[in-house]
């Protein structure tokens, strides 16, 4: 059974229920995918010595960040493979395969021996597991964004599509929250010895639960669309929709970079640069991520009122103006509360983008190449700019040029603003549902 495309503002009660359930089902799987992926970032300060022995904590973090970035390099491949699967064989099948792959990657990391046990094979196997997870997440974003944009209710697309990032951020939040809980029951030595493995086990089990939830989802594509000769074709994507692909690539580069700067990297920044205790940094990020998650539906509703293009322009402009002042202030900050306020302010700026990120991309492509176009463009930009954010920041810090990273983010935000100017005032695709 497929969920029909909306062509009218009038829905029966049953149709509304089906669409809302589809949003919940797809986004719940999204939450698990991103929990599994982000657990690595939040546990890195504990397992880094187990895989990368060194006397310098910054060097250890650079190495773990490098493996984190390597996972992002698989995203374009995942975006291509899973985008093609979603366009040719259905969004549901693509989402089921991606969650299974993420489950395996998390379980593998949870069971890995350390460098002391097997030498250089330990970091090699860690890299392999992250590459699997990168492949999975590379396909997850585009397919989920496409699916949720297709089932969202007319006139409320921004609101409903925002739940992709509610659950994406929720995955981050649950990851850091689990670390906070473990910090209450385990001491530093226990966390470094075995405690860091627990979140990966939790992630693998949660992925299996998500698999059953996703099996109940209804497909949004028709048989005719899947059999279209251009369905899932990368040739057709670049032949007919090159301009749309470049536009999405352009603003996603800045969006991904600033998102990872103020989420996954920020915990390390507070510890490694501002000099805060790891527990304090975890508390700050837990509170900030919770508020950030709650912001998404409100910014999604705002986009429904002022238009997706205007939201993107506000994102680019405010990010360009405030990134350097916020990061410079955080660098020398001593008050945890003030750090929390500044990070929340930064995340509010990012919310102009993240609340409608998947939707504004999906509106750029027709259904036969939508998952491929969204997933591949996002994955390429994310791999180059998002996945490297921590590595670039830590490398510049190690080289005594940390402030250069702030200006790098600022320049990319200006680029995001310029590419947002290319967005049409009315979407070419899905416009009848706006």
Sign of CA dihedral 324, 327, 329, 332: negative
What confidence score (pLDDT) does residue 56 get? Answer: 65
pTM of the model: 0.82
Along the 434 residues of the chain, how does pLDDT read in single tens digits?
445 444 445 667 777 777 787 887 788 777 887 787 778 877 877 887 788 776 666 666 677 767 766 776 788 898 899 989 999 888 888 989 988 888 888 899 899 898 888 887 888 888 888 888 888 888 888 888 888 888 877 778 888 888 888 988 888 788 878 888 898 888 888 888 888 899 999 988 988 888 887 888 888 888 888 888 888 889 999 998 999 999 999 999 999 999 999 988 898 889 888 888 888 888 898 899 899 999 999 999 999 999 999 999 999 999 999 999 999 999 888 899 999 999 999 999 999 999 999 899 988 998 899 999 999 998 889 888 987 888 899 889 888 888 899 999 999 999 999 999 998 877 666 644 43
At 219 the three-state DSSP class reads strand
3-class SS of residue 121: helix
Residue 163: CB partners within 8 Å, gap ≥ 6?
23, 24, 27, 148, 296, 297
pLDDT confidence of residue 428: 64
Pair of tokens at residue 202: 């939790």
> What CA–CA distance (Å, rounded) separates 89 from 399?
48
Domain ranges in the chain are: 17-217+234-424
Determine contact, residues 410/324, Cβ cutoff 8 Å.
Answer: yes
Listing DSSP states for 305-360 in one string gives HH-HHHHHHHHHHHHHHHHHHHHHHHHT---HHHHHHHHHHHHHHHHHHHTTHHHH
**pLDDT given for residue 54 in this prediction:** 65
Burial class (CB in 10 A: 0-12, 13-18, 19+), 361: buried
User: Residue 55: what pLDDT?
Assistant: 63
First to last CA, the chain: 24
Task: Please give the structure tokens belonging to residue 31.
Answer: 């939450």
Exposure string of 222-251, with b = 16+ CB inside 10 Å and e = fewer, is eeebbebeebbbeebbeeebeebbebbbbb
Which residues fall within 8 angstroms of residue 303, CB to CB, at 6 or more apart? 158, 310, 311, 352, 355, 356
Residue 351: which residues within 8 A CB-CB, separation 6 or more?
292, 295, 296, 299
Fold of 17-217+234-424: Growth Hormone; Chain: A; (1.20.1250)
């Amino acid at each position: 059974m497929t969920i029909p495309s909306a062509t009218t503002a009038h829905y029966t009660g049953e149709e509304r229920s089906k669409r809302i359930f589809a949003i919940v089902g797809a986004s719940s799987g999204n939450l698990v995918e991103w929990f599994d992926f982000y657990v690595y970032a939040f546990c890195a300060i504990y397992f880094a010595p187990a895989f990368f022995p060194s006397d310098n904590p910054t060097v250890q973090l650079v190495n773990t960040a490098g493996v984190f970035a390597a996972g992002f390099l698989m995203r374009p491949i995942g975006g291509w493979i899973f985008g093609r699967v979603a366009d040719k064989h259905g969004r549901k099948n693509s989402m089921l395969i991606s969650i299974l792959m993420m489950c395996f990657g998390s379980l593998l990391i949870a069971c890995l021996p350390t460098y002391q046990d097997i030498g250089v094979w330990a970091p090699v196997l860690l890299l392999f597991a992250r590459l699997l997870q990168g492949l999975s997440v590379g396909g997850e974003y585009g397919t989920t964004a496409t699916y949720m944009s297709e089932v969202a209710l007319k006139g409320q697309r921004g609101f409903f599509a925002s739940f992709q990032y509610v659950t994406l951020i929720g995955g981050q939040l649950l990851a850091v929250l689990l670390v906070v809980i473990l910090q209450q029951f385990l001491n530093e030595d226990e966390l470094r010895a075995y405690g860091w493995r627990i979140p990966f086990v939790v992630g693998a089990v949660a992925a299996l639960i998500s698999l059953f939830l996703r099996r109940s989802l209804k497909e949004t594509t028709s048989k005719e669309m899947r059999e279209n000769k251009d369905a899932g074709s990368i040739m057709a994507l670049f032949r007919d929709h090159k301009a749309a692909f470049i536009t999405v690539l352009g603003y996603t580069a800045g969006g991904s970079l600033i998102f990872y700067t103020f989420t996954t990297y920020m915990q390390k920044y507070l510890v490694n640069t501002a000099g805060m205790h790891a527990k304090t940094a975890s508390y700050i990020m837990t509170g900030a991520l919770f508020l950030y998650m709650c912001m998404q539906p409100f910014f999604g509703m705002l986009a429904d009122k002022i238009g997706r293009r205007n939201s993107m322009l506000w994102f680019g402009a405010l990010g360009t103006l405030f990134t350097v002042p916020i990061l410079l202030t955080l660098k020398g900050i001593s008050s945890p509360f003030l750090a929390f306020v500044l990070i929340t302010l930064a995340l509010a700026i990012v919310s102009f983008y993240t609340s409608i990120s998947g939707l504004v991309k999906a509106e750029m492509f027709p259904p036969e190449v939508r998952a491929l176009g969204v997933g591949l463009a996002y994955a390429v930009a994310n791999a180059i700019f998002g996945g490297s954010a921590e590595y670039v920041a830590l490398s510049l810090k190690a080289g005594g040029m940390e402030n250069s990273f702030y200006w790098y983010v600022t320049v990319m935000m200006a680029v995001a603003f310029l590419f947002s100017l290319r967005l049409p005032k009315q979407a070419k695709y899905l416009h009848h549902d706006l």
